[in-house]
Chains A and B, each alone.
Chain A
Amino acid sequence: MRLYSGLNLFFIKLFTLLVPRFLHPACAMFTGCIFYLLLRDIRRHVRSNIRAVTGRRDVERLVISTFYKFSRNWVDILLMMRWRGSRLNSMIGRRSGGHYLDEAMARGNGAILISPHLGNWELGGLGLAEMGYRINVLTFREPDEKVNELREKVRAERGINFIYVDRNDTSPLAIIEAVNALRRNEILALLGDRDGSSHTAVMEFFGRPAAIPLGAAYLGLASGAPVFPVFVPLEGNRYSTVMEAPVYFAGGHSSHKNAVLEGTARILRVFERYIREYPDQWYNFYDYWRVSDNARNGGQVDRL
């Protein structure tokens, strides 16, 4: 069953229109438990991932919590797509690190925001757009075209630009548009813990080799833009927006490899810290490290 589908989004949207937000946690617990019970394979994958992250075997509460919080996440995403201004801001609680972004933008090279699949990263982009920043999202197309249409509709209304990358395009020039956005001193947002198309390297992640996308490193090195690890975890009934200190990539032609690996490793250490803190909000509904193994064995991983 595909979780991201036009049909699912239709029902979630209907739910948000009919049910007030204060009832959402109870409904999310109900639906989360249903999916937990029905989706045995996904349940097993989530359990495996959380065990790797926490180092513990007894993680079933966290597994159930993952289904619950993912249910809440998607309902909140559909709400966010309708809400503006103070209503949208009401979903955000703690904010930290925003001064880093303003300092970076003053330098004129743009900024790259990188996040793992943790919490509600979509809210981060919408929130920044609401504040007047020009946001570009670097992404693959979703398999379900209805999902793409919905995202594009909302983002067009909010002034968020999409830059689509072809998963199988090996050309480095595939992300030229992203470089140009940074040259215009705009913000580029992308996810950085999986799905790296053809520019990926094997790196240690939670003590295990994983296929890590390198797009942010390439863009940071090419443009001089700082790369900010950002996180939007659910805390209580609201989301926190956290921006960590930037990672700068620098180096001449002969030192590209070292610059990319060292900078990306620093970002991964920050990712690990937040995923350990919020293990039930790291949304990978497949065996994360087995897929990495397959990517490596299938020769889909760059050797820098």
Chain B
Amino acid sequence: MINDELITQVKQLIIDSLRIEEMTPDDIETDAPLFGEGLGLDSIDALQLVVAMEKDFGVIVPDAETGAVVFQSVRSMAGYIAENRK
């Protein structure tokens, strides 16, 4: 289940794993695109998020097709984690 606590955890994961300086979870919009517009993450960030999600939540993104859906926004990430974490 997606709740506010999980949303905040995902935002903190993004900040910590990508080492984005001077940013707090409140600065990240839950439904904004992660790549391009919105947060403006890049190729390497995407891969680092894959690693971080497995480390912190035990959730694996198996392939590019799944990744394209998972990494649309903070909410989609949280939804995937909620469905798949052990």
Contacts and interface: CB of A to CB of B under 8 A. Distances in A.
B47 A180 contact: no
B50 A222 contact: yes
A64 B11 CA distance: 59
Contacts of B62: 176-177, 180
Closest 9 CB pairs of A and B: A252-B19, A172-B43, A222-B47, A173-B67, A173-B64, A172-B46, A253-B18, A222-B48, A253-B20
Interface of B: 18-21, 41-48, 50-51, 54, 60-64, 66-68, 71
Nearest to A165: B64
Contacts, number: 74
A171 B64 contact: yes
Interface string A156-177: 0000000000000101111111
Given A172-B47, A224-B51, A252-B18, 18 more contacts: A171-B68, A172-B42, A172-B44, A173-B68, A174-B64, A176-B61, A176-B63, A180-B60, A180-B61, A180-B62, A219-B47, A222-B44, A222-B50, A222-B51, A223-B47, A253-B18, A254-B20, A256-B44
B47 A256 contact: no
A209 B64 CA distance: 31
14 contacts: A171-B64, A172-B44, A173-B64, A173-B67, A175-B47, A175-B64, A176-B62, A176-B66, A179-B47, A199-B43, A218-B47, A221-B47, A252-B19, A254-B20
Contacts of A222: 44, 47-48, 50-51
Chain A interface size band reads: 20 to 34
Q: Which of A176, A199, A251 has the most CB of B within 10 A?
A: A176
B45 to A, nearest CB: 6
Given A176-B63, A253-B20, A218 B68 contact: no
Contacts of B41: 253
* A169, A173, A174, A180 — most chain B CB neighbours (10 Å): A173
Contacts of A252: 18-21
A275 interface: no
B48 to A, nearest CB: 5
Interface string A116-127: 000000000000
Q: Select the residue from B20, B21, B42 with max chain A CB neighbours within 10 A.
A: B42
Contacts of A173: 46-47, 50, 64, 67-68, 71
Contacts of B48: 221-222
A221 B44 contact: yes
Contacts of A179: 47, 50-51
Interface in A247-304: 251-254, 256, 260
A3 to B, nearest CB: 31
Contacts of A219: 47
Given A173-B46, A260-B44, A183 B51 contact: yes
Contacts of A256: 42, 44-45
